[in-house]
Structure 1
Amino acid sequence: MEEKIDLHMHSNYSDDADLPVAELISRCKAHGITTLAVTDHNSADSVAEACALADSTLRTISGIEIDCTFNGRNYHLLGYGFTPSDDFSQIHRNFSELQRELTPKKIETLRHCGLIVDENALAELAGERVPQEEQMAEVILADERNQDNPLLHPYRSGGPRSDMPLINFYWDFFGAGRPCYIPVSYPAMEQMVDVIRSNGGTPVIAHIGANIKQQYQEVLSGMQKIGVMGIEVFSSYHTPELAAWLYDFALNQNLHVTCGSDFHGHNKPKIEVGQCSYNASQLAAIRRFTDSLMP
C-alpha cells in the first residue's frame, strides 16, 4: 500500500470538531492513511483512544495543538510523540476557562454588529462544550431574524464565502483587525515548547501561512531559537510555492518536516483527512520524522 500521512486533524475532543476518535480513525483508514496524529486543540484527551486503535495497517502518534503567543502574535504549536501528563490537562483546563470567560464578550461584539444571537440555541448546539465562533455563525445564519442582514449575504448559498461559511465567518469577523476581534494573550510559545519537550515530545509550528503572510524566515528562525523543532510544511492553507520554500528552509535548518490537513468536519467542509500534497522525496522527509517518534 502506498504510504499516506496526516499529522494534523481534530476529533470531538476539540470544541470545534465533530467526529469521535473511533469514527475519525475509520475515516482515515477509508482514505488510505497509514500514519496519523490526532491533534486536538489544547487537549491530549484523544491520545490513549487513538493509540489503542492502531493496528498493522495504521500507525498513530500522540498529538496536540496548543494556542500560544510568540512576539505578540498568536500561533498554533503542534506537539508529537509526547507522553500525556497533567501538564497537558492543565493546559486544557486553563484554555477552557479562558474561552468561557470570552464567550459573553464574543456574543456582545456580534450584537454590536447588528446580528441577533439566540443564546439558548447556541447553548443547545454547543452542549457541554464551550461555544465556538463557528457555532455562533451557525446559529446566526439559521435564525430567520437575520435573514435579510446584508452582512450575512456572503455566507449564504451562492455567496463568495459560502464554500466554508462557518470558518469563513470566524476569519472575517473574529480575525485580527476584524469587527469582532478580541485581543487575547495565550501562554508563551517558549513555555509550551518546554512542556512538550519535557514530556518527551517534539514541538512543531503549525500552518504558519495561516498566521502570517511575510517575514517567514525571521519568524521561523526566532521560533527555532526557543526550541521549536519542526515546521508543518504541507498544509491545506499553504500554496505550493510557500510549501516549497518552507521545505527547503526546514531541510537547510535541520528542522523536521511534517504535513497535516487540519480536518475538523462540517466547520471546514472543503478539508478532508489526508488532504496533503507532497512528492516521493518530500514524503521520505516526513517519514523520517514519524519514524523518529516510533519506539
Structure 2
Amino acid sequence: MEKIDLHMHSNYSDDADLPVAELISRCKAHGITTLAVTDHNSANSVAEASALADNTLRTISGIEIDCTFDERNYHLLGYGFTPSDDFSQIHRNFSELQRKLMPKKIEALRHYGFIVDEDALTELAGERIPQEEQMAEVILADDGNKNNPLLLPYRSGGSRSDMPLINFFWDFFGAGRPCYIPVSYPAMEQMVDVISSNGGTPVIAHIGANIKQQYQEVLTGMQKVGVMGIEVFSSYHSPELEAWLYDFALNQNLHVTCGSDFHGHNKPKIEVGQCCYNASQLTAIRRFTDSLTV
C-alpha cells in the first residue's frame, strides 16, 4: 500500500537529528511517496525538501507550531503554505522564548538532585538551543548521577528505557510533572490565521498526546477557530482513538492526515512512514494531499 507521512522532523528542529537530504533519502528507502517535513516552529526545510522532490516522491510544505488553545498547549500543523516572513517571525519568537526558559529548566532539574553539566549540554546541542531530551542525555551519561534512583527507569532494562530521552521529557516536563514550567504560546486562532493567510491548511497534530478525554468538545472548539483537519493516524494514537477521530473528521468535513512524528535519536521506536491505515482511509488522506497546491 502507498506510504504517506506528513509529520517528521529534520535538524531544523532543535530536538531532531537528520539534515533534510538525509531525511528525504530515508523516506525514499522506506517507500514513502508523499511527505511533509514539519519542523518545530520553523519553515526552513521547505525549500530544501521541495528541491529534492522527483517523479517518485512528492514533498509538501510543512511546519509544526506550538500554540495555546483554551489554556492548554497544543501543536498545530500547517501544510501547503507559501513560506514568508510570518514563519520566520514565529521561529524567532519561539527561539527567544526557549532561550529564556532554559535556565529555569536546568534549575528545576537540579532541584530534584540531578547534576547537569552545562558545558556538556552546550557541546551536545552545538549551535542549537538545548532541549529537555538533551538534558536527559547529559544527565544519564554523567557518573555523578549513576546512583540517583530517579534515573533507574530510563537505564537499560528499566520500565522507561525503550525511549529513555523522550520518556524523561514526558515524565519530568509534561504538564503537571515535577519540572513542568508553565508557558503560554501564541493563540491557536492567531497561528491558524498565519497558516491560512499564506495559502496553507491548519491541522491539529496528535491530539491524543495532549489530552485523554473530551475529544469532541475540544475538536469542535478548534474547528470554530479555523482548524481544518485532524492528524488521525499517529504513532501516539491507539487504533480505537484513530477509528473515532477518523469518523469524527469525516462527519465534520475535516481533512484526514497521518504522521509518524519521526525525530531520530530522541524517539528511536518511531520510524518514517510508521502510520497504519487501510485502503479507504488512505483515500481520505490522499484527498487531503491532492487538495494542496504546494
Shorter-chain TM-score tier = over 0.9
Query: Alpha-carbon deviation of 1:294?
Result: 3.3
Give the TM-score, by structure 1 length: 0.99
Q: C-alpha distance in 2, partners of 1:91/1:63?
A: 14
Query: Alpha-carbon deviation of 1:61?
Result: 0.1
Q: C-alpha distance in 1, partners of 2:265/2:19?
A: 13
Query: Alpha-carbon deviation of 1:217?
Result: 0.2
Query: Alpha-carbon deviation of 1:118?
Result: 0.1
Query: Alpha-carbon deviation of 1:140?
Result: 0.1
Q: C-alpha distance in 1, partners of 2:67/2:141?
A: 32
Query: Alpha-carbon deviation of 1:12?
Result: 0.1
Show the counterpart of 2:260.
261
Deviations 1:172-208 (A, max 9, x none): 0000111100000000000000000000000000000
Give the TM-score, by structure 2 length: 0.99
Q: C-alpha distance in 2, partners of 1:217/1:74?
A: 17
Q: Does 1:209 align with 2:208?
A: yes
Deviations 1:59-80 (A, max 9, x none): 0000000000000000000000
Query: Alpha-carbon deviation of 1:25?
Result: 0.1
Query: Alpha-carbon deviation of 1:129?
Result: 0.3
What are the residue-to-residue correspondences of 1:96-245 with 2, within 5 Å?
96-245=95-244
Query: Alpha-carbon deviation of 1:223?
Result: 0.2
Which consecutive residues of structure 1, in runs of 5 or more, have no partner in the other structure? Answer: none
Deviations 1:91-110 (A, max 9, x none): 00000000000000000000
Q: C-alpha distance in 2, partners of 1:208/1:175?
A: 14
Query: Alpha-carbon deviation of 1:213?
Result: 0.2
Q: C-alpha distance in 1, partners of 2:91/2:265?
A: 23
Query: Alpha-carbon deviation of 1:163?
Result: 0.1
The 3-state SS of whatever aligns with 1:251 is helix
Q: C-alpha distance in 2, partners of 1:87/1:120?
A: 34
The 3-state SS of whatever aligns with 1:78 is strand
Query: Alpha-carbon deviation of 1:149?
Result: 0.3
Query: Alpha-carbon deviation of 1:89?
Result: 0.1
Deviations 1:79-129 (A, max 9, x none): 000000000000000000000000000000000000000000000000110
Query: Alpha-carbon deviation of 1:258?
Result: 0.1
The 3-state SS of whatever aligns with 2:77 is strand
Deviations 1:261-291 (A, max 9, x none): 0000010000000000000000000000000
Q: C-alpha distance in 1, partners of 2:127/2:153?
A: 30
Q: C-alpha distance in 2, partners of 1:200/1:286?
A: 19
Q: C-alpha distance in 2, partners of 1:233/1:14?
A: 23
Q: C-alpha distance in 1, partners of 2:282/2:64?
A: 22
The 3-state SS of whatever aligns with 1:34 is strand
Moved over 4 A (4+): none
Show the counterpart of 1:70.
69
Aligned residues: 293
Deviations 1:41-65 (A, max 9, x none): 0000000000110000000000000
Q: C-alpha distance in 1, partners of 2:142/2:225?
A: 46
Show the counterpart of 2:280.
281
Which consecutive residues of structure 2, in runs of 5 or more, have no partner in the other structure? Answer: none
Deviations 1:2-30 (A, max 9, x none): x2100000000000000000000000000
The 3-state SS of whatever aligns with 2:32 is coil
Q: C-alpha distance in 1, partners of 2:103/2:33?
A: 42
Q: C-alpha distance in 2, partners of 1:255/1:274?
A: 22
Deviations 1:219-270 (A, max 9, x none): 0000000000000000000000000000000000000000000000010000
The 3-state SS of whatever aligns with 1:83 is coil
Q: C-alpha distance in 2, partners of 1:4/1:124?
A: 37
Q: C-alpha distance in 2, partners of 1:10/1:44?
A: 11
Give the root-mean-square deviation of aligned CA atoms: 0.5
